[in-house]
Amino acid sequence: MSLALLWIPATIAASLLQTARNLTQRSLTDIIGVVGATQVRFLFGLPFALLFLVLVCLVAARLPPGIDGKVLAFALGGALAQIAATALMLAAMRTHSFAVTTAYTKTEPVQVAIFGALLLGDPLGWGKFAAIIVATIGVIVVSWKPGQKLTAAGMRPAVLGIGSGAFFALSAIGFRGAIQALPEGGFFIRATTILALGLTLQTVLLTLYMLVANRPALVLSLRNWRRSLSAGFLGAAASQCWFIGFSLTSAANVRTLALIEVPLAQIASRRIFAEGTSRRELVGMALIVLGVGALLLLAIS
């Protein structure tokens, strides 16, 4: 496989790891609340990110690339957006099914394609944009139930999920911008450096917030350290794979391929939470697969 196509297996691995992490975080929301479960992926993920960076530096026999103001600004923007996205996603999961919430968050690719083109100058041809639209329509088909009334209560999960997707889009752009802004180094060490930087910023910000505003949730996350550690490792490993993808191709390509997470979430919901899958949801997942497949053909050709 060409090195340029390494983003494909990296993104698939990231989607698998993220699905497992979301399941773990969802189980923690009932114990330590939304903010506590949000904080877990960062606080307990940071040690693994630092370990990844040490190993990469040892293998490469070099120090991490230097971090300047531009890199820090992009990384901070990505870090803050990811915190907001994770909190909104977990809040939506408390009111709606795991699979449907995941689908709402995956309205992200259209937003990330536009943000990427505007902010980073990532190329976006009509073919790729059409593939993204088809996959996103599949997400909408999966998410929307026939006859669903537009009540405030009924719209709340959709607003939370789509808002989460928007912040995930901004997060992807921020972290890709930070990786690109690093002055030197190969794709692997640049991706791992930004992973460690991003998780450090997120851990400091959320821990300080929780010490002031929600100390009991912080204490509960430490008491439930086994489950929290699992979520942290899965989150750090998923982010490592995401960042490898961001270092090799546009965020739009990565996030569109990541829509395979929607069928994965459907499988998880059916097996773990006994949440069934309707014909409409199967049609939506087929559209997602079609859009993702078209994107891959365009990326490979």
Per-residue pLDDT of the chain (301 residues; tens, 9 = 90+): 566 678 889 998 998 888 788 778 777 777 777 777 778 888 899 999 999 999 999 998 899 999 999 999 999 999 999 888 878 877 776 666 656 666 667 667 777 777 777 777 777 677 777 887 887 787 777 666 666 554 555 566 667 777 888 898 899 899 999 999 998 888 899 999 999 999 999 999 988 988 888 888 888 888 888 888 888 899 899 999 999 998 988 887 888 788 777 676 666 666 655 555 677 777 877 787 787 777 767 766 5
Q: How far apart are CA 109 and CA 135, in angstroms?
A: 9
In degrees and rounded to multiples of 5, residue 249 shows phi and psi of: -150, 180
Q: How far apart are CA 100 and CA 19, in angstroms?
A: 13
Q: Is 250 exposed, middle or buried (0-12, 13-18, 19+ CB in 10 A)?
A: buried
Q: What burial letters (b/e) apply to 155-188, b meaning 16+ CB within 10 Å? A: eebbebbbbbbbbbbbbbbbbbbbbbbbeebebb
User: Residue 290: its pLDDT value, please?
Assistant: 80
Query: Based on the structure, what is the number of domains in the chain?
Result: 1
Amino acid found at 249: T
Domain span at residue 153 reads: 3-300
- Of the candidates 62, 161, 178, 46, the one whose C-alpha atom is nearest the C-alpha of residue 119 is 178
8 A C-beta contact, residue 136 and residue 262? no
Give ∠ CA 285-244-92 in degrees, rounded to 5: 45
Say how far residue 92 (Cα) sits from the centre of its chain.
Answer: 15
Q: Token digits for 248?
A: 């090799």
User: Residue 269: its pLDDT value, please?
Assistant: 61
- Of the candidates 291, 48, 66, 99, the one whose C-alpha atom is nearest the C-alpha of residue 184 is 66
Q: How far apart are CA 33 and CA 91, in angstroms?
A: 9
Cβ neighbours of residue 160 under 8 Å, at least 6 residues apart? 88, 89, 91, 92, 95, 101, 104
Q: Token digits for 95?
A: 């009111």
Q: Which residue has the tokens 């090799």?
A: 248
Q: At what angle do helices 261-272 and 279-300 cross, to 10 degrees?
A: 150
Query: Whole-structure pTM over 0.85, yes or no?
Result: no
Q: How far apart are CA 247 and CA 200, in angstroms?
A: 20
Q: At what angle do helices 98-105 and 69-93 cross, to 10 degrees?
A: 150
User: Residue 210: its pLDDT value, please?
Assistant: 85
159 phi-psi bin (left φ>0, alpha ψ -120 to 50, beta other): alpha
Q: Token digits for 178?
A: 């930070």
Q: What is the DSSP letter of 145?
A: P
